[in-house]
Amino acid sequence: MTPSSRYALATGVSLATVLFLLFGIGALGIVGDGDRDAVYLAAPVVALVVAASTRFRPRGMVLALGAAAVTTVLAGAVAIGMVATDDVAASVADVVMLTVMYAALFAAAAWLFSRVRASGA
Q: What is the pLDDT of residues 30-74, one digit of tens each?
A: 887 778 899 999 999 999 999 999 999 999 999 999 999 999 999
What b/e sequence results for 73-96 when a residue is b if at least 16 CB atoms lie within 10 Å of its CB, and e otherwise?
Answer: bbbbebbbebbeeeebebeeebbe
pTM for the whole structure = 0.92
Residue type, 56: F
Question: CA 17, CA 118: separation in Å to the nearest integer?
Answer: 23
Q: Nearest to residue 13, comparing CAs of 119, 114, 98?
A: 114
* Residue 70, burial from CB neighbour count under 10 angstroms (0-12, 13-18, 19+): middle
